[in-house]
A and B are shown apart, each in its own frame.
Chain A
């Protein structure tokens, strides 16, 4: 690495601090008053600082420049309408960079860069969970929406359903407010088409190949299906980073490919499928594969492995290193990769929705697999109303109408909503050997309902949109 005279380094420090001031001022103007003039300033200053810090050897500052550009890109997609967390993350990043710029070499003790990068990845992952293409009809989310794992969301859904039922008694006021707040917190996201949200990466990957002088066919086979917007956001960030990795780390220059007996033009394939309620995204390339020995050496060099554990590390353990913040097989960050944050961002995002990330790799290529399960949102159901109860009811159509039962459930009594019901219609449904009857005000009709707040199978009901109205999707087996 070139060692620059102190005078040059001081010039860089002065210029960098000025750039960071301008970046922060432009960001504040953009987010607080929508002043768009600063957008070009912000991007230009960050880009210049990225190049200068790389040249002078301020690798940490360069690393954060890349992260700042990621943040700006996300914010731009959202027309700079970002939450408090995001706004604070950008400012903290510029201040962190200023601190690193001012620090003398060897005096970085006490600065937790990996910890800070991890925080930024969390903020980014939270932001991408709500892609800008989310439909306007989606329930307005607070910019501070907390991501709740599905299992926890379902458990909390039990309490939410109780609140809904109490609110259905028509007392209004705080119960209605409480129900709405719980619904906004816990409701399943809207379904959005996956393909258009991922297709955009095709052109950028082709451009990146051209920029790096690599040659590869890029094939997208995405299918046509809808996915909840939270999963779309995660797959979006996963594909961004996995494609960049495939292009920069995977596909070899043509001459090297020919020397290996491979065709001069590589191949990158992106596939997505929906099988039942599981979405899979695969990113495959026929490039050089993961160099596990280089990963091992890098882990040792970073001090993350000692000599003994480096020697004994299995392939799975080495794969785990790839996902850690700050890890890269590059010793210098380029404009494309080497920041050590891409795979960590993918892993963080996938884990946050309870998904799985796997990789298989050899000298013939690499195959990444992202899997994410999601609840079924639209279900077929028998819908009906009960006199005296303001909300509609539904039962899934895997319960089939039948004629015979002697025990009928009065939902008004069973749910503590008053009763007994003066319904004139009695109907029964059967699933397997179980039969349950209901007292209603009408014969049920078949319709498609949208689940809103889900609960585990031990609960008596969930909240769903039934013919456009919030109601209860019952579990008859829990009502007897």
Chain B
């Protein structure tokens, strides 16, 4: 298994842990992504993209299942990231694991998937 060079985010209320499994990069987000998470998240996602490109990753899975809240500023980082994925020459798929009990996730992620409907998918797991 190739090593990945992405330090985790571990804050009081929010954390982001990245792991690599075969050809799939996983990011698990937990807690509440408010104003304090904006900068770390906006730094993290370009690193994820760079690492996915370096490793030739086929899929990046973003786990929102335990993410209770994300403010619009944090979500904008994902918009930037998906735009990067969409415009990259070597594309990889992005799957969001969404908690169907959280309406904000469903709506925002659906809108995000419209940017690259052939690359982005959303999977829900009952909470």
Contacts from A to B (Cβ < 8 Å): 84-85, 87-89, 91-92, 95-96, 98-99, 102, 109-113, 115-116, 119, 122, 144, 146
Q: How far is the CA of A85 from the CA of B111 in the complex (A)?
A: 11
Q: Out of A87, A92, A102, A111, which one reaches B117, CB within 8 Å?
A: A111
Q: Which of B39-47, B60-68, B73-81 contacts A (4 or more CB under 8 A)?
A: B73-81
Give the residue name and chain of the A residue nearest to B108 (CB): A88
Q: From residue A92, how far is it (CB to closest CB) to chain B in Å? A: 6
The reply to whether A95 and B119 form a contact with Cβ atoms under 8 Å apart is no
Q: Out of A85, A91, A112, A113, which one reaches B107, CB within 8 Å?
A: A85
Give the residue name and chain of the B residue nearest to A91 (CB): B76
Beyond A88-B111, A119-B110, 14 additional pairs, beta carbon < 8 A: A84-B104, A88-B75, A92-B111, A92-B112, A95-B76, A98-B83, A99-B115, A110-B116, A110-B117, A111-B117, A113-B114, A115-B113, A119-B107, A146-B103
Question: Can you list 27 A-B pairs, Cβ within 8 angstroms, ordered by A?
Answer: A84-B71, A88-B76, A89-B111, A95-B80, A95-B83, A95-B115, A96-B114, A96-B115, A99-B83, A99-B87, A110-B116, A110-B118, A110-B119, A111-B114, A111-B117, A112-B113, A112-B114, A112-B117, A113-B114, A115-B110, A115-B113, A116-B115, A119-B107, A119-B110, A119-B114, A144-B104, A146-B103
Contacts from B to A (Cβ < 8 Å): 71-72, 75-76, 79-80, 83, 86-87, 103-104, 107-108, 110-119
**B117: chain A residues within 8 A (beta carbon):** 110-112, 115
Q: How far is the CA of A88 from the CA of B112 in the complex (A)?
A: 10
The reply to whether A116 and B72 form a contact with Cβ atoms under 8 Å apart is no
Q: From residue A67, how far is it (CB to closest CB) to chain B in Å? A: 13
Q: Assuming the A-B contacts A91-B72, A110-B117, A115-B114, are A122 and B83 also in contact, with contact meaning beta carbons closer than 8 angstroms in the complex?
A: no
What secondary structure prevails in chain A residues at the interface with B? helix
**A111: chain B residues within 8 A (beta carbon):** 114-117
Give the residue name and chain of the A residue nearest to B71 (CB): A84
The reply to whether B83 and A91 form a contact with Cβ atoms under 8 Å apart is no
**A110: chain B residues within 8 A (beta carbon):** 86, 116-119
Q: Out of A84, A99, A102, which one reaches B72, CB within 8 Å?
A: A84
The reply to whether A95 and B104 form a contact with Cβ atoms under 8 Å apart is no
**B110: chain A residues within 8 A (beta carbon):** 115, 119
Those 5 A-B pairs whose CB atoms lie nearest each other, nearest first:
A110-B118, A116-B114, A112-B114, A88-B72, A112-B117
Q: From residue B69, how far is it (CB to closest CB) to chain A in Å? A: 9
Q: From residue A83, how far is it (CB to closest CB) to chain B in Å? A: 9
**B108: chain A residues within 8 A (beta carbon):** 85, 88
Q: How far is the CA of A326 from the CA of B70 in the complex (A)?
A: 30
Q: How far is the CA of A329 from the CA of B23 in the complex (A)?
A: 48
Give the residue name and chain of the A residue nearest to B111 (CB): A119
Residue with the greatest number of chain A CB neighbours at <10 A, chosen from B79, B113, B114, B115? B114
**A91: chain B residues within 8 A (beta carbon):** 72, 76, 79
Q: From residue A96, how far is it (CB to closest CB) to chain B in Å? A: 6
The reply to whether A95 and B79 form a contact with Cβ atoms under 8 Å apart is yes
Give the residue name and chain of the A residue nearest to B79 (CB): A95
Q: From residue B80, how far is it (CB to closest CB) to chain A in Å? A: 7
Q: How far is the CA of A99 from the CA of B80 in the complex (A)?
A: 10
**A87: chain B residues within 8 A (beta carbon):** 72
**B103: chain A residues within 8 A (beta carbon):** 146
Q: How far is the CA of A122 from the CA of B108 in the complex (A)?
A: 11
Give the residue name and chain of the A residue nearest to B104 (CB): A144
Q: From residue B94, how far is it (CB to closest CB) to chain A in Å? A: 12
Q: From residue B105, how far is it (CB to closest CB) to chain A in Å? A: 12
Q: From residue B99, how far is it (CB to closest CB) to chain A in Å? A: 15
**A122: chain B residues within 8 A (beta carbon):** 107
Q: How far is the CA of A89 from the CA of B115 in the complex (A)?
A: 13
Q: How far is the CA of A144 from the CA of B108 in the complex (A)?
A: 13
Q: How far is the CA of A284 from the CA of B83 in the complex (A)?
A: 45
Q: How far is the CA of A91 from the CA of B86 in the complex (A)?
A: 17
Give the residue name and chain of the A residue nearest to B80 (CB): A95
Q: From residue A220, how far is it (CB to closest CB) to chain B in Å? A: 35
**B112: chain A residues within 8 A (beta carbon):** 92
**A88: chain B residues within 8 A (beta carbon):** 72, 75-76, 108, 111
The reply to whether A116 and B111 form a contact with Cβ atoms under 8 Å apart is yes
Q: How far is the CA of A149 from the CA of B80 in the complex (A)?
A: 34
The reply to whether A109 and B118 form a contact with Cβ atoms under 8 Å apart is yes
The reply to whether B86 and A99 form a contact with Cβ atoms under 8 Å apart is yes
Q: From residue A203, how far is it (CB to closest CB) to chain B in Å? A: 34
**A116: chain B residues within 8 A (beta carbon):** 111, 114-115
